[in-house]
Amino acid sequence: MHEYKILVVDAGRGRASTYKITSVTGAIDAGLRIHEEKNSWDHPPLSSGNPLFMGLGPFTGGPLFGTHRLVFVFRSPITGGIHVSTMGGAAYVFMRTGLDGLVIEGYSREPAIIWVVAGESGLEVDFDYMDQDKLIDVYKRGARGLHSYINSKMTNEYRRRYKPRIILVGPAALTTPFSGIFSWIPNVNGEPGDVVDSASRGGAGSVMAQGHGVVAVVFGGVKYRRVADKRRILNVASRVLGGDFYRVLEAATTKYRYDPKLGTGGTFGVNYVHYRELMPALAFNTIYYSPAVRLALHEKIMNLFWKPFQDKVFESRKDKPWKTCGEPCSAVCKKVWNGVKLDYEPAHGLGPMIGVITLEDTASLVEYVDDLGLDAIEAGHIISWLYDAIKKGLLEPNDLGVEERPTLDPITLDSRTSKLNAHLARILLGKIASGKGDIPLLISSKGAREAARIMDEIYENRVRKANWSFRDLLVYASYGSKGYMTPNYYWSPGMIAPLYVLGRYWTDYSPSYTSPEEYAVHSYKRAIVELTIDNAGICRFHRKWAEKVVQALYTEILGLPGIDAIEKSRKIYRRIAHYQLKAGAEPRPWESRKTMDIITTIAAELEASGWRDILGNYDKVLSWWHRFYDKLKELTM
């Protein structure tokens, strides 16, 4: 089986050592092994006992596009369980170190920057320690300010020789549990370029900063890793796919590059055309609206939000601002609008979800959230939840330290109210990141689920009067007694179903509704396939071809004929399930009314069998949850 060379970095002692892990099939397999051996379920997520693992897939360095994602495995401070997050293109540089993975352990009392580069004489590991006041000063320019500070320590010769990439956290990683790890693709001078990628869901940045005192890792090297002969890999892929690999790849990644049938491309361009009125917006309240109201709102979104993007990114006669995540790839999925990379979910969370439909305002918020180092999806949920609490009478603007009321009304929403919503969001995001104000501090210190519970107690009289609780307005899946995961922005039961890992696409996220047992089987199957792709370090935008080829790659390229990639992933998923149980982070029944309404409203929208019987019947909705989870346990245990 595959052998992994791991660098273990002790951030507190400033020491590093290497060792090898054998009998693993990929990054998740290796990272999970480390957590199992360390019994990390016995340690708080934001402690040095929670190792942060980052690693690459076994096919990194070969000729196949999309095989260069850097995979992070850690115990999440959000869910309380093991979590996986990935970063596009970063493994294309990490492989130059000659390593397969890196583990951060220990805790540095001073903010630490770890340098890992491979020179002609071997691996070099160095530690820089920043004064806390210096870090605060650097963070006045946000996460990009930290990138620039680190870049200033490099000479042109150093950049030319090692081709380094910087992964780092923003200031919110020091104060919140929902911060990510970010990496800007540098321009020719080493400064942050237009494209940034992140491993955001689950709070990896918070683990790195609060658990280990590390604010950045710089890696690079003079080596270039190749897994096998280029021609042989391409021949295997082409044979399995039944045609020239690059032609099949072009067809498989059409959505992310440019779909001529839709006249657009990328997740931002395609999703608004494809999902139309089925896209959730305005704090998920669109699930309650009639099709006519949703279509009217969709028309506003298309005119004010989507069309400016379309005109500049696709219709302009100038050079197309389509870029990659840092590895050579013909999908060029990163679409840049006015210097800002816009993907669907960050832009939607900081756009229509919070009542912002003026694209320039959303683009500004996306940049701001990246500089804060926050998970943009989580940020969108929190802001929209607070806006909805004001709308429902649970909060007044001055409770949050703002003077005006946001608008979540689909009828009155226009460019003026959109700009007001964006202005208020910027203020609130800054307060949450810095912990200024009672409610922002409560959210940033406790997370949204626990904050909602406490706010229900503080504002008991308002809750009784409004007939809505703070908990009922927040959309999330529960893990253990305090853990949770807010869903990605799809109107789908699969995004909140009781699965062992959510926040990724390890589920069926289509707008559909079936019996819970059938839905569990299909969601589990998708989880296993998606895990297989992540474990191999492959970008899921390439899944249409990768899912067909991955088994042959293990068998013929790695020489592992006894490995069934899917069966191995089932075993990994089962190990994850056992970990969650040990960590007290197993799925728990839904607590939020709006969360359960996602199930009933999509059933009604599709006029699925039995939808009239389940609509508004929360006992039956919870029965759906239990039947789904019982079937999942049957499949995994």
Per-residue pLDDT tens over the stretch 575-589: 999 999 999 999 999
Superfamily designation of domain 2-221: Aldehyde ferredoxin oxidoreductase, N-terminal domain (3.60.9.10)
Instruction: Read off the pLDDT of residues 497-535 as tens digits, 9 standing for 90 and up.
Output: 999 999 999 999 999 899 999 999 999 999 999 999 999
Contacts of 332 (CB under 8 A, 6+ apart): 256, 257, 322, 323, 324
Give the Cα separation of 146 and 182 in Å (integer).
Answer: 11
Give the Cα separation of 113 and 190 in Å (integer).
Answer: 17
495 φ/ψ angles, rounded to the nearest 5 degrees: -80, -15
> What is 254-467's CATH number?
1.10.569.10
Contact (Cβ atoms closer than 8 angstroms) between residue 304 and residue 357:
yes
Instruction: Read off the pLDDT of residues 378-413 as tens digits, 9 standing for 90 and up.
Output: 999 999 999 999 999 999 999 999 999 999 999 999
186 - beta bridge partners? 192
Q: What is the pLDDT of residue 228?
A: 63
Q: What is the pLDDT of residue 376?
A: 98
Give the Cα separation of 523 and 128 in Å (integer).
Answer: 45
Q: Which two tokens stand for residue 394?
A: 């649970």
Q: What is the pLDDT of residue 561?
A: 76
Q: Give the domain ranges of the chain.
A: 2-221, 254-467, 516-636
At residue 356, does pLDDT exceed 90? yes
Q: What is the pLDDT of residue 227?
A: 65
pLDDT tier for residue 563 given thresholds of 50, 70 and 90 = confident
Mean pLDDT value of segment 258-268: 93
Give the Cα separation of 101 and 3 in Å (integer).
Answer: 11
Give the three-state DSSP class for 289.
Answer: coil
Instruction: Read off the pLDDT of residues 320-344 as tens digits, 9 standing for 90 and up.
Output: 899 999 999 999 999 999 999 999 9
Q: How far apart are the first and last CA of the chain?
A: 24
Contact (Cβ atoms closer than 8 angstroms) between residue 220 and residue 164:
yes
Q: What is the pLDDT of residue 632?
A: 98
Tell me the Ramachandran region of residue 578: left when phi exceeds 0, alpha when psi lies from -120 to 50, beta otherwise. Answer: alpha
More confident residue, 362 or 229: 362
The mean pLDDT value of the chain amounts to: 95
Give the Cα separation of 67 and 249 in Å (integer).
Answer: 13
Q: What is the pLDDT of residue 289?
A: 97
Give the Cα separation of 277 and 293 in Å (integer).
Answer: 9
Q: What is the pLDDT of residue 354?
A: 98
Q: What percent of the chain has pLDDT over 90?
A: 93
pLDDT tier for residue 361 given thresholds of 50, 70 and 90 = very high
Candidates 50, 32, 33; CA nearest to 41 is 50
Query: Which amino acid type is present at position 225?
Result: R
At residue 478, does pLDDT exceed 90? yes
Q: Which two tokens stand for residue 126?
A: 């160095």
Q: Which two tokens stand for residue 581?
A: 């149980």
Contacts of 9 (CB under 8 A, 6+ apart): 15, 16, 102, 103, 104, 105, 106, 114, 116, 125
Q: Which two tokens stand for residue 200?
A: 């955001």
Mean pLDDT value of segment 32-60: 97
Contact (Cβ atoms closer than 8 angstroms) between residue 477 and residue 498:
yes
Q: How far is CA 287 from CA 53, 272, 499, 516, in A?
A: 38, 16, 22, 20
DSSP state of 316: -
At residue 225, does pLDDT exceed 90? no
Query: Which amino acid type is present at position 260?
Result: P
Mean pLDDT value of segment 148-158: 96
Q: What is the pLDDT of residue 231?
A: 87
At residue 1, does pLDDT exceed 60? no
Least confident of 14-23, 228-237, 518-527: 228-237
pTM beyond 0.75: the answer is yes
Give the Cα separation of 153 and 150 in Å (integer).
Answer: 5
At residue 224, does pLDDT exceed 80? no
At residue 223, does pLDDT exceed 90? no
374 - beta bridge partners? 179
Burial of 451 (0-12, 13-18, 19+ CB in 10 A): buried
Length of the chain: 637
Q: What is the pLDDT of residue 329?
A: 93
pLDDT tier for residue 226 given thresholds of 50, 70 and 90 = low
Mean pLDDT value of segment 264-293: 95
At residue 537, does pLDDT exceed 60? yes
pLDDT tier for residue 229 given thresholds of 50, 70 and 90 = confident
Instruction: Read off the pLDDT of residues 603-612 as tens digits, 9 standing for 90 and up.
Output: 999 988 888 8
pLDDT tier for residue 172 given thresholds of 50, 70 and 90 = very high
Q: What is the pLDDT of residue 317?
A: 66
Q: What is the DSSP string of 444-467?
A: HHH-HHHHHHHHHHHTHHHHHHHT
Q: What is the pLDDT of residue 558?
A: 85
Is the Cα dihedral 354, 360, 365, 366 positive or negative? positive
Give the three-state DSSP class for 170.
Answer: coil
Query: Which amino acid type is present at position 316?
Result: S
Instruction: Read off the pLDDT of residues 185-213 as tens digits, 9 standing for 90 and up.
Output: 999 999 999 999 999 999 999 999 999 99
Q: What percent of the chain has pLDDT over 70?
A: 99
